[in-house]
């Protein structure tokens, strides 16, 4: 009888471990310029670039990087700040991915996934009302408008992130 109980216990443990392996986590690409890398560092070779809204399967986690499987069957590493646990809204997915602030309107991206601080951006009437209620000076809005009017190339942005050791370039 004891032997039967041991076999039953071992079977249950095996099934539990096996089911955990099958239930792999699903995430979505939440940021433009989301590069699937050969290794878990920003300077490694890029396998492909994925569009916002792509569903991926997490195979492993290491520090701030996920080893993922993409719909094409390719596997590689992606910085966690480029992925989200919730699927981006359709409006966000349709946006052009090239601009520095392309992902901002309607964004539900968590703070550690954003490329910029979650500050008042003046991008919606709700945000403007919030700024008025908080007594935010008009000069801040004018300064923000000047910043949003600036154009930063992808190369300039990459250089800035590398030099500042920000995001996926952090040690």
Establish if 1 belongs to a structural domain: no
**In the block, which residue shows the tokens 């600036």?**
150
Let me know if residue 11 belongs to a domain.
no
**Considering the domain boundaries, does residue 164 fall inside one?**
yes
Q: What is the pLDDT of residues 52-80, one digit of tens each?
A: 999 999 999 998 999 999 999 999 999 99
In a domain, 16, yes or no: no
Q: What is the pLDDT of residues 12-42, one digit of tens each?
A: 676 555 444 445 899 999 988 899 999 998 8
The span from the CA of 4 to the CA of 95, in Å, is 60
Domain count, the chain: 1
- Report the C-alpha gap between 120 and 118 in whole angstroms: 7
Alpha-carbon distance of 137 to 125, in angstroms, equals: 16
Residue 31 sits in a domain whose CATH number is 2.30.30.40
CA-based torsion, 151, 157, 161, 163: positive or negative: negative
Distance, in Å, from the CA atom of 113 to the CA atom of 164, rounded to the nearest integer, reads: 17
Q: Note whether residue 92 is domain-resident.
A: yes
Closest CA to 8 of 16, 74, 160: 16
- Residue 167 above 60 pLDDT? yes
Do the domain assignments include residue 6?
Answer: no
Cα(21)–Cα(33) distance, integer angstroms: 30
Tokens standing for 167?
Answer: 């995001």
In a domain, 10, yes or no: no
The pTM of the whole model exceeds 0.85: no
Instruction: Give the structural domain span for 63.
Output: 24-169
Tell whether 4 is covered by a domain: no
The position carrying tokens 């290794």 is 39
Q: Work out the number of other CB atoms within 10 angstroms of the CB of residue 150.
A: 8
């Amino acid at each position: 009888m004891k032997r039967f109980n041991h076999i039953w216990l071992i079977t249950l443990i095996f099934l539990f471990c096996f089911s955990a392996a099958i239930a792999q986590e699903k995430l979505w690409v939440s940021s433009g310029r989301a590069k699937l890398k050969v290794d878990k560092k920003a300077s490694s070779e890029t396998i492909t670039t994925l569009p916002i809204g792509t569903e991926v399967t997490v195979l492993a986690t290491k520090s701030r990087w996920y080893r993922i499987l993409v719909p094409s069957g390719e596997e590689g590493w992606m910085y966690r700040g480029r992925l989200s646990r919730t699927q981006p809204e359709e409006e966000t997915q349709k946006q052009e991915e090239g601009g520095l602030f392309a992902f901002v309107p309607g964004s539900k991206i968590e703070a550690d996934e954003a490329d910029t601080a979650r500050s008042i951006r003046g991008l919606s009437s709700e945000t403007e009302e919030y700024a008025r209620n908080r007594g935010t000076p008009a000069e801040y809005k004018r300064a923000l408008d000047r910043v949003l009017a600036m154009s930063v190339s992808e190369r300039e942005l990459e250089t800035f992130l590398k030099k500042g050791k920000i995001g996926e370039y952090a040690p």
